[in-house]
Amino acid sequence: MSLATTLDRIAQLQALADPQAAARAAAARRFVATGTTTVGSALGPSVGLAPAPGTPFADALRTATATPGSTPMIDAARTQAGVVEAPPGSNDSPEIARYRQAVAGAPGPGPWCAYFVSWAAREAGTPLGDQGQGFGSVDAMWAWAQRSGRAVPNGPGVTPQVGDVVILNQHTGIVTGVRPDGTVETIEGNTSDRVADRTHPAGEAIGYIRMA
């Protein structure tokens, strides 16, 4: 299937949920027509394509396919909504084992919220850690963010951005939205032993890791 045909199909699917999708997809097709960049061959988590990050085409394609309030990391996480531990209480399942593969050192089953965030970040092309090694520990993830200048400690006047990693007390997830009253919407792994959407009061977070 040609790239132009793929983009046409994306536009058709997106138009069902987003009236602005056709206009955004047209922008991506214009980059294809003008040949301004090349496209990588790796499969992406959302649309089956992973163009070279940071290129004009990558930006246009991301705009054409992302839903409002989403990021590639959120889109990857949402594909896993409903994943549960099997058996219950085991901190494991075939999917959870795949999340652990995003963390260096071949870790075994254990609390997996940080594994899940590390997996989503890797799928989005923005792996966590100085060497992209990911994290199995919330404390280690936050310490890295502080060292690397990505940490945003929570406090008065702090508003997270969609796509931030939220750091809670021994727990983590990805910010998907912020309500007018400050309530933070997230998607998380290992929340009631599953991947699910959650909400948190504005003051609950220890801080946020800025991904962009």
Write the pLDDT tens digit of every residue in 178-201.
999 999 999 999 999 999 999 999
Query: What is the side-by-side order of every strand in the sheet holding 171-178?
Result: 151-153, 207-209, 165-168, 171-178, 184-191, 194-200
Instruction: Name the pTM for this structure.
Output: 0.70
Does residue 58 register a pLDDT over 70?
no
Q: Which residue has the tokens 């929340």?
A: 191
CA distance 40 to 167: 33
Q: Where are the domains of the chain?
A: 3-68, 74-209
Q: What is the pLDDT of residue 132?
A: 97
CA distance 54 to 126: 12
What integer best gives the mean pLDDT of the chain?
80
Q: 31 near 56, Cβ under 8 Å? A: yes
Tens of pLDDT along 140-166? Answer: 999 999 999 999 999 999 999 999 999
The CATH label, of 3.90.1300.10, 3.40.50.1380, 3.40.50.300, 3.90.1720.10, for the domain at 74-209 is 3.90.1720.10
Q: What is the mean pLDDT of residues 9-34?
A: 47
pLDDT-based confidence at 37, cuts 50/70/90?
A: very low
CA 137 from centre of chain:
18
Q: What is the pLDDT of residue 25?
A: 45
Does residue 7 register a pLDDT over 70?
no
CA distance 108 to 45: 25
Q: 192 near 176, Cβ under 8 Å? A: no
Q: What is the mean pLDDT of residues 87-91?
A: 97
Q: What is the pLDDT of residue 8?
A: 60
Contacts of residue 23, Cβ cutoff 8 Å, sequence gap at least 6: none
CA distance 50 to 13: 18
Residue (of 84, 86, 77) closest to 188 by Cα position: 77
